[in-house]
Amino acid sequence: MRMWRVVILLNLAVGVGLLLGWLAWGQQVPRLERRLREAQQSVVLIGVERTWVVKGVVRALIPETRLIVVTHEEIPGYMPAAMTMGFKAATAKVFEQAKVGDVVRFTLKGVPPDVQVTAIEREGKS
């Protein structure tokens, strides 16, 4: 084979390789951007005080620990799904406002996972 043919073939091989790589990465970038966006939405910010207003139903009250057990809806950036669990009332006054069976809207405030109910408002009865 002549030298110039070898050079052209090598150049072609490199060119095709670069093109394929560029195409593969070009498709990879939007996919990575989408995954990054998804990850950012579900991220739990650690060490940052946050506030949420959450809807729920009061299931039980534990006065000894001022715990309000609620079935709450999703809490964006903290709890990805609805569940039943207990939250501590910040004050005795807030705790006294909760009644078992109430449909409530409550304010959750704190540095996760150390959050407390700072306000609770009755919206109806379950």
In whole angstroms, what is the distance from residue 6 CA to residue 12 CA?
10
Phi-psi region of 108 (alpha: psi -120 to 50; beta: other; left: phi over 0): beta
Q: How far is the CB of 29 from Cu ion (least distance, A)?
A: 36
Beta 114-125 vs 83-89: how paired, if at all? Answer: parallel
DSSP label of 101: T
**CA–CA distance, 65 with 117 (Å, rounded to integer):** 13
Closer CB to Cu ion, residue 79 or residue 119?
79
Size of the site for Cu ion (CB under 5 A): 3
Which CB, 86 or 122, lies closer to Cu ion?
Answer: 86
Residue 72: CB minimum distance to Cu ion, A: 6
Contact between 16 and Cu ion by CB under 5 A: the answer reads no
The residues in 28-87 that bind Cu ion, with binding defined as CB under 5 A, are 79, 83, 85
Footprint of Cu ion on this chain (CB under 5 A)? Answer: 79, 83, 85
